[in-house]
Every structure is written in C-alpha cells, then in structure tokens.
Amino acid sequence: MIYVIYDISDDKIRKKVSDKCLNYGLLRIQKSVFAGNLNKNRIDELRVFCENIIEENDKVYIIEVCEKCFGKLICIGEEFDKELVNDSKKTMVL
C-alpha cells in the first residue's frame, strides 16, 4: 500500500502528477493525496516521472505502508473506502 502526498505550486505540473496517479489506478483520498497499491517498478516509474517534472520547491512523498500499518489508519471526518483502496491490488492483477 502506498500514499502519494504532494505540494506542487504550478497547476499544470500538479495536474500531470495527479493524472499519472489516476492512470496508475491510485485513488484520490484528499486534494493532494492518493492511495492504492503499486508494485516496485511502478513506484520507481512514478518517482522518476515526478523527479523529471516537479520544480525546485515542490515536494512529492511516497509513503509505503505494510498491511498492518494500513490497518491502523485513523480517518476523521469524511472517510475513504479502505476496501476499494486495498482492492486496487486485485484490479492491478486482472
């Protein structure tokens, strides 16, 4: 399971990163936060993609969590569908 969280000032660049996350099957859980399952290669591809387009003060953090850590997630306010996020593993395999 991974979370992708970013602070990107330029709208066009930010859109490219969010489109890439959607394209990889990640789910948007907050404005600048995506979650889902990506294999090691995809994570590297995403890292290289972001390295090539973000600007100096921009930040993209990819937080990888094990199933146990994912289970300890606390959602306050509007929740997201944890099953769906975790299921993205199945959609990846099909």
Residues lying near a copy of itself in the complex (CB under 8 A): 3, 5-7, 29-33, 43, 47, 50-51, 54-66, 68-69, 72-80
| Shortest distance in whole angstroms from residue 28 CB to a copy of itself | 10
Select 44 or 91, whichever has its Cβ closest to a copy of itself: 44
Q: 27: closest CA among 55, 60, 3?
A: 3
| Shortest distance in whole angstroms from residue 94 CB to a copy of itself | 26
Select 37 or 94, whichever has its Cβ closest to a copy of itself: 37
Decide: 36 and 25 in contact? Cβ < 8 Å. yes
Select 65 or 92, whichever has its Cβ closest to a copy of itself: 65
7 annotated to bind ligand: yes
User: What is d(CA 71, CA 62) in angstroms, rounded to the nearest whole number?
Assistant: 18
> How many C-alpha atoms does 74 have within 13 Å on its Cβ side?
1
User: What is d(CA 75, CA 44) in angstroms, rounded to the nearest whole number?
Assistant: 28
